[in-house]
Structure 1
Amino acid sequence: MGLLDLCEKYFNSSNLYEVLQIPETASEKEVKKAYHKLSLKVHPDRVSEDQKLEATEKFKVLGSIHEILSDKNKRAVYDETKSVDDDDFNVLVDKDWTVYWRHLFKKITEEDIKAYEKEYTGSQEEKDDLKQAYLTGKGDMDYITDHVQFARTEHEPRIREILNKMIKDGEIPAYKIFTHEPAKKKQKRIAKENREAKEAEELKQELGMTSGPNNLELMIRQKQ
């Protein structure tokens, strides 16, 4: 099965840009950022055993996409033909994508995450992400908290204030599920967040993590 077929199978689109959720005009930096974000979600090291096989395949697909779109010549060919050379892809399949990933992205610490969260919170980037998640999820706060970095329930009053201002200014529509969210829905979201936080802490202890350099699982803790 070729790369585009696998894109369709695992990401419901044969368009490399759509898989990474970026426009065709995206810069090299934006391509790398999108690859980083999506590859974290499917990294084989952070899924259960029954999900490892599919996660590994998705990880390979994303790595192959980044390898193509980060190469000016290969990207130019793809942009013109909307096709890829599957002979090249078959070579890429055997590549160690974990090593490739580690060469691209440095190990981080909890201090790095906290510093980034401080920079991100209240930024234009956060507002843009909130707006996009709100529109895509049609005002569903569950969707917003799942798709926006650091969007924990403790930040909901601030997040709602930002989105309500956008509604008032006519930037986004007023979805009822957002303006009149049932109390039980929010309670379920809080319970889920607490459960995930507990699981993340248990995983941290199991892996013997500290506040120093660590592996991918700790990076994911920003969502808890």
Structure 2
Amino acid sequence: MADIKQAYLDFQGDMDSIMESVLCSTLEDESRIRAILESAIKDEQLPAYTTFTKESAHKQRARKRKGDQEAKEAEAVRHELGLADSSDSLRMLIQSRQQDREKQMDSFISAMEAKYCENSQKGGKKGSKKGKK
């Protein structure tokens, strides 16, 4: 609640900016956030900014359209990544990517070993002859 009031003060009542800055808020939370702010204005805890009190219906509809568009984009990305509705799908995706990274690291290390590590049979001292004089 303090975060909502602080966002209201920071953005001088601009509901677009308030909705973007309040953590974990969605389009469905707008009416609840608006009620909190209106109550605080009524109780004179917050000043009444005209950008908030006289917000046009057009601006509210534009915010709703933008939220709906973002929801559609998020759904498309979810399908593109192959995430199902369950929470296990995200865990499985993370584990799959982690395994891919491990394989890449193993192949990188193998390539570095092949490039920089000498074969132990090639090494040795040249010209050393034991027991011959």
TM-score between the two structures when normalised by the length of structure 2: 0.61
Q: Distance in 2 between matches of 1:143 and 1:176?
A: 15
**Aligned counterpart for 2:79 among listed residues 199, 205, 215:** 205
Shift of 1:140: 0.7
Structure with more contact order per residue of length (Cα contacts < 8 Å, sep ≥ 6):
1
**Is 2:90 the counterpart of 1:190?**
no
Higher-Rg member (1/2): 2
What SS does the corresponding residue of 1:138 show, helix, strand or coil?
Answer: coil
Shift of 1:154: 2.6
Q: Distance in 2 between matches of 1:190 and 1:150?
A: 16
**Is 2:50 the counterpart of 1:176?**
yes
Write out aligned runs for 1:120-131 (5 A): 127-131=1-5
Residue identity in the other structure for 2:49: Y
Shift of 1:138: 0.7
Q: Distance in 2 between matches of 1:153 and 1:180?
A: 19
- Provide the aligned length of Structure 1 versus Structure 2: 89
Instruction: Give the match for residue 136 of structure 1.
Output: 10
Write out aligned runs for 1:43-192 (5 A): 127-192=1-66
Q: Distance in 2 between matches of 1:208 and 1:145?
A: 29
Residue identity in the other structure for 2:63: R
Q: Distance in 2 between matches of 1:147 and 1:177?
A: 17
Instruction: Report % sequence identity.
Output: 47
User: Are the equivalent residues in 2 in contact too, given 1:133–1:147 (CA < 8 A)?
Assistant: yes
Q: Compare the two structures and name the one with the higher helix fraction.
A: 1
Q: Distance in 1 between matches of 2:34 and 2:5?
A: 11
CA RMSD of aligned residues (A): 1.5
Please list every run of at least 4 consecutive aligned residues from structure 1 whose deviation after the TM superposition is greater than 6 angstroms. none
Q: Distance in 1 between matches of 2:36 and 2:87?
A: 34
Q: Distance in 2 between matches of 1:150 and 1:157?
A: 15
Shift of 1:212: 2.0
Q: Distance in 2 between matches of 1:168 and 1:161?
A: 10
Q: Distance in 1 between matches of 2:59 and 2:25?
A: 16
Q: Distance in 2 between matches of 1:207 and 1:153?
A: 24
User: Are the equivalent residues in 2 in contact too, given 1:144–1:151 (CA < 8 A)?
Assistant: no
Q: Structure 2: state its 5+ residue gaps.
A: 92-133
Q: Distance in 2 between matches of 1:174 and 1:153?
A: 22
